[in-house]
């Protein structure tokens, strides 16, 4: 029996649809893409997915577990995406809620090269939760962004990243921005004896990715940020080739988070982003400015679990919840999510009248409550 991967789909039926026909249709659409009889019996038996279980689920839905030959994927993340939710994305009422890869297939994906332990080592922080702030907004000059990086580093924030919308705009060209922000963080570190790391956003045209990674590496950055879906999920694996850690941003990914059609957030941002190599994954925290219908308390915990729970030989990755993180609430989130978390503080810091004092309060709160 060859290795099989198993995909769990929650099915919402249209009027007249039958659950078993819908499940069998998925098993064909994702493989032979032909009506029954369109391929030889041998190919049908080997290639078409097998509906292993089909059971009623909440709210009139059905849950189908379909097993596929792992050989259909090879070592190929784009083809895994195609198998998981390729052509069926063009249908309706199909939501991927779980992905189980056999050990042989898991071993073919690199996963995080640093992971939680490796990123902790680069930060010099063995146990407590980490704090990350973003230099923003787009439209500021490189010196103005560098000044923000300096102030966050002075306050003792562990990681400072570029806003995900900063790419190579004329207001703050990539190379100038990276050099100035890196210098600003290094200066603050010298002054405080701290170890703040700066993560530039390397998102840009496909042809520039390697060049930007080379700049980040040559400038001594420990890691980078990238917009995973706009670049292509396989790009998550690229920074590791330069020895760089990688934080993956969820922009554009929300299209997949339909209530009845798409991929569950913990499968996409958790399992798949981790397989692709993310050392940290940003997501909208419950209670922030994104709808709780998608990012519920349960959904956030499920993302954390998918990033951290044992998964073959793959390293665990840091969840990076953003939204609703301030000095008063951070003890609650540390209690809820545990120490292996990077808390991303964004717009709430900028809403404070004294940015430096607010950053210091937050740093103190994380250090005090997370030790």
Positions 186 through 205 that interact with a second copy (CB under 8 A): 203-205
Q: What angle is formed at CA 106 by the lines to CA 72 and CA 28, rounded to 5 degrees?
A: 25
Nearer CB in complex with a second copy: 103/291: 291
55 binds a second copy (CB under 8 A): no
Smallest distance from the beta carbon of 291 to a second copy, in angstroms? 5
Give the interface size with a second copy as a residue count (CB under 8 A). 83
In this chain, which stretch among 71-79, 216-224, 310-318, 325-333 interacts with a second copy, using CB under 8 A? 71-79
Smallest distance from the beta carbon of 218 to a second copy, in angstroms? 21
13 binds a second copy (CB under 8 A): no
- Burial zone of 138 (CB within 10 Å; 0-12 exposed, 13-18 middle, 19+ buried): middle
165 binds a second copy (CB under 8 A): yes
Smallest distance from the beta carbon of 344 to a second copy, in angstroms? 12
Residues of span 22-51 touching a second copy by CB under 8 A: 29-35, 37-39, 43, 46-47
Smallest distance from the beta carbon of 25 to a second copy, in angstroms? 8
Smallest distance from the beta carbon of 279 to a second copy, in angstroms? 18
Nearer CB in complex with a second copy: 287/370: 287
Q: Which residue has the tokens 């063009």?
A: 90
Among 180, 346, 362, 366, binds a second copy (CB under 8 A): 346
Whole-number Å distance between alpha carbons of 357 and 371: 21
Smallest distance from the beta carbon of 300 to a second copy, in angstroms? 13
For residue 103, give Cα distances in angstroms to 66, 70, 187, 237, 311: 17, 10, 46, 20, 9
The length of the chain is: 371
Smallest distance from the beta carbon of 191 to a second copy, in angstroms? 26
103 binds a second copy (CB under 8 A): no
Nearer CB in complex with a second copy: 29/266: 29
Q: How many CB atoms lie within 10 A of CB 165?
A: 15
74 binds a second copy (CB under 8 A): yes
Contact mark string toward a second copy, 218..257, x via CB under 8 A:
---------x-xxxxxxx-xx-----------xxxxxxxx
Q: How many CA atoms lie within 13 A of 165 on its CB side?
A: 6
- Burial zone of 256 (CB within 10 Å; 0-12 exposed, 13-18 middle, 19+ buried): buried
344 binds a second copy (CB under 8 A): no
* DSSP per-residue codes, 253-319: GGGGB-SSSEE-HIIIIIIIHHHHT-SEEEEEPTTSSS-TTTS-HHHHHHHHHHHHS-BTBBPP-EE
* DSSP per-residue codes, 121-161: HHHT-SSS-EEEEEE--BTB-HHHHHHHHHHHHHHT-SEEE
DSSP 3-state of 224:
strand
In this chain, which stretch among 49-57, 116-124, 168-176, 363-371 interacts with a second copy, using CB under 8 A? 168-176
* DSSP per-residue codes, 50-86: EEEEEEE-GGG-EEEEEEEEGGGTTT-HHHHHHHHHS
Whole-number Å distance between alpha carbons of 193 and 195: 7
Residues of span 284-313 touching a second copy by CB under 8 A: 284, 289-291, 293-295
Smallest distance from the beta carbon of 96 to a second copy, in angstroms? 10
DSSP 3-state of 320:
strand
14 binds a second copy (CB under 8 A): yes
Nearer CB in complex with a second copy: 101/116: 101
């Amino acid at each position: 029996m060859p290795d099989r991967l198993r995909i769990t789909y929650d099915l919402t039926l249209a009027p007249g649809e039958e659950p078993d026909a819908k499940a069998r249709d998925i098993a064909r659409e994702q493989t032979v893409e032909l009506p029954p009889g369109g391929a030889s019996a041998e190919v049908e038996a080997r290639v078409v997915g097998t509906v292993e279980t089909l059971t009623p689920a909440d709210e009139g839905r059905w849950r189908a577990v379909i097993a596929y030959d792992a050989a259909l994927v090879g070592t190929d993340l784009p083809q895994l995406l195609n198998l998981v939710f390729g052509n069926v994305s063009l249908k309706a009422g199909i939501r991927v809620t779980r992905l189980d890869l056999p050990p042989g297939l898991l071993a073919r994906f690199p996963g995080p090269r640093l992971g939680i332990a490796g990123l902790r080592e680069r930060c010099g922080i063995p146990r407590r939760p980490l704090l990350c702030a973003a230099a923003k907004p787009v439209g500021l000059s490189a010196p103005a962004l560098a000044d923000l990086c300096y102030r966050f580093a002075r306050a003792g924030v562990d990681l400072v990243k570029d806003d995900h919308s900063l790419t190579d705009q004329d207001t703050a060209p990539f190379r100038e921005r990276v050099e100035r922000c890196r210098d600003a963080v290094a200066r603050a570190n010298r002054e405080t004896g701290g170890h703040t790391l700066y993560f530039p956003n390397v998102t840009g045209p496909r042809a520039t990715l390697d060049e930007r990674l080379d700049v980040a590496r040559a400038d001594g950055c420990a890691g980078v940020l990238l917009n995973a879906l706009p670049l292509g999920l396989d790009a998550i694996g690229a920074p590791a080739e330069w020895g760089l850690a990688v934080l993956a941003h969820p922009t554009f990914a929300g299209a997949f988070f339909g209530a009845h059609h798409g991929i569950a957030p913990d499968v996409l941002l958790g399992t798949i982003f981790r397989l692709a190599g993310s050392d940290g994954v940003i997501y909208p925290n419950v209670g922030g400015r994104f709808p709780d219908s998608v990012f519920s308390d349960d959904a956030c915990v499920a993302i954390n679990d998918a990033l951290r729970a044992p998964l073959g030989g793959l390293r665990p990755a840091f969840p990076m919840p953003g939204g609703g993180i301030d000095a008063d609430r951070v003890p609650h989130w540390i209690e809820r999510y545990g120490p292996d978390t990077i808390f991303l503080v964004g717009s709430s810091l900028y809403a404070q009248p004294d940015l430096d004092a607010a950053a210091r309060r937050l740093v103190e709160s994380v250090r005090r409550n997370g030790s």
